[in-house]
A and B are shown apart, each in its own frame.
Chain A
Amino acid sequence: MANPTVSAAVVDDDPIQVEILRGIAEIAGLGDTMDLTAFRSLGDFLSGAGRSTFDLVFLDRRLPDSEGFNAALATLSQARLACPVVLMSAHAGKDIARPYGLTIIGPVDKLELTQPEYLKRLFEQAKNPANQRNG
């Protein structure tokens, strides 16, 4: 039986980083089972049609319309995002507020995201119904 497809959003304004993530997913053997959509800003992501259908969101700390995780998480919380959010940062502070009812993973060092096995585990977790909120 084929693995279920994972639909992930990457919110990052650096197109190269999106390509890197895509490349590593390929290396991890997730190429056929992963559907990855890139958004250059939080606004783009929130206005994107069908955002509620993602299984996982990769969020960069620094975006054109949002600086730092706290503001972005507050916005995503207000938008009642149902899926887990992976915070991508090499050096995020430890004072990230998590009171928003979101499922938050990380902050994860971007270097760690280059490990195919780690990415695989993330995607497996994303498909776990226990990690999905009903919004």
Chain B
Amino acid sequence: MGDNTLLLPLQQRMVKQLPEDSRFFARLARSALIADDISREHRELADHLHRIAGRSSQLGYVQLGQKLSRLERQLEVKGRPSAKLLAAIANTARDAIDETLINDAPKLAPMKAPDRYKKITATTGKTALVVEDDIELGPLARSTLADMGFDAVRLAASAEQALSECYVLRPNLIVCDWRLRQASGLDLLKTIRNGGVAGLDATPFIMLTSQNDKKSVQVALRTGADDFIVKPFSIARLRGAVARLLEIEAPVPARSDKDEDDDTLEL
């Protein structure tokens, strides 16, 4: 069913809509946590889960459909959920969609993006891509960026996935681990800087690494990294680097901040 050409335009429409759906769930989660009365958020969450679960299953994104369907059921079972639970369900839905965008959506189109695929892009606000295969650091970096107000933050576990995601997300920022399973973060950086994804060659790129020797730093910066953060890193260090690169308001750690001294090498 998934590869049937009659349904392909509908699949493309659904995938094109997914980044907005992801942002919708993220907004809903935030809104639930500050609302006095969450009945509106409750209704919207139930409606949206129901809608996307149905279309996803029917258009071949069965795993996403099942996940969202389970969340819908969970919401129903709870009757009158707390704001916290409602936000958690919305955030889980966001994660499920983001995973689909990273892992499944690119299958709809070849990697060398034709024009129609380039249209699948986040159009509002800023988006970020975290490329990290560490199961703790990846989500940490992602949630840090999400807390900074990025509209969408996606997580890729490999350079290959990251490239696919770049076509879909058109990130305004890439935070990438140097050491990945197959192609390295440095390979990804080279590909990006050499125009491997049209229009993203100047995207701010932060390299994460446990290699803190001077030579590695030089290699990364000469290849085009905009910043270099040594692992393990603190949230403040990452926030500071992002804020500086994107010139957005965020608590930037002072120069005397221990983190700054720990993982920044003077060249």
Q: Which residues of A contact B (CB under 8 A)?
A: 14, 16-17, 19-20, 23-24, 26-27, 60-62, 88, 90-91, 109-111, 113-115
Additional 18 contacts, C-beta under 8 A, given A14-B54, A90-B65: A16-B10, A16-B13, A17-B51, A17-B55, A20-B55, A20-B59, A23-B10, A27-B4, A27-B7, A90-B53, A90-B54, A90-B69, A91-B72, A109-B57, A110-B65, A111-B58, A111-B62, A114-B1
B80 at the interface (CB under 8 A from A): no
Which residue of A has the minimal Cβ distance to B6?
A: A23
**Bound CA span A115–B1, Å:** 8
Report if A62-B58 is in contact (Cβ < 8 Å); known contacts: A16-B14, A90-B69, A111-B65: no
From A17, A26, A60, A61, give the contact of B58 (CB < 8 A).
Answer: A17
Contacting residues, chain B, for A111 (C-beta < 8 A): 57-58, 62, 65
**Bound CA span A115–B14, Å:** 19
Contacting residues, chain A, for B59 (C-beta < 8 A): 20
Interface of B is mostly: helix
**Bound CA span A19–B7, Å:** 9
Contacting residues, chain B, for A115 (C-beta < 8 A): 1
A selection of 10 A-B contacts at a CB cut-off of 8 Å is: A14-B51, A17-B55, A23-B10, A26-B6, A61-B50, A88-B54, A90-B57, A90-B69, A111-B58, A111-B62
Which residue of A has the minimal Cβ distance to B57?
A: A111
Q: Give a binary string over B40-83; 1 marks a CB under 8 Å from any A CB, 0 the rest.
A: 00000011001101110111001001100110110000000000
Report if A62-B50 is in contact (Cβ < 8 Å); known contacts: A16-B55, A17-B55, A91-B72: yes
**Bound CA span A114–B60, Å:** 9
Which residue of A has the minimal Cβ distance to B68?
A: A90
Which residue of B has the minimal Cβ distance to A93?
A: B76
The 3 closest A-B pairs by CB, nearest first: A90-B69, A62-B50, A111-B57
Q: Which residues 214-244 in B have Cβ within 8 Å of A in the complex?
A: none
CB distance from B46 to the nearest CB of A (A): 7
Q: Decide if A19 touches B53 in the complex (CB within 8 Å).
A: no
**Bound CA span A23–B59, Å:** 11
CB distance from B57 to the nearest CB of A (A): 5
From A20, A61, A62, give the contact of B10 (CB < 8 A).
Answer: A20
Q: Decide if A20 touches B58 in the complex (CB within 8 Å).
A: yes
Report if A110-B73 is in contact (Cβ < 8 Å); known contacts: A14-B51, A16-B10: no
From A27, A60, A91, give the contact of B69 (CB < 8 A).
Answer: A91
Q: Which residues 2-35 in B have Cβ within 8 Å of A in the complex?
A: 4, 6-7, 10, 13-14
Contacting residues, chain A, for B13 (C-beta < 8 A): 16
Contacting residues, chain A, for B50 (C-beta < 8 A): 61-62
**Bound CA span A111–B70, Å:** 15
**Bound CA span A88–B55, Å:** 12
**Bound CA span A120–B54, Å:** 20
CB distance from B66 to the nearest CB of A (A): 8
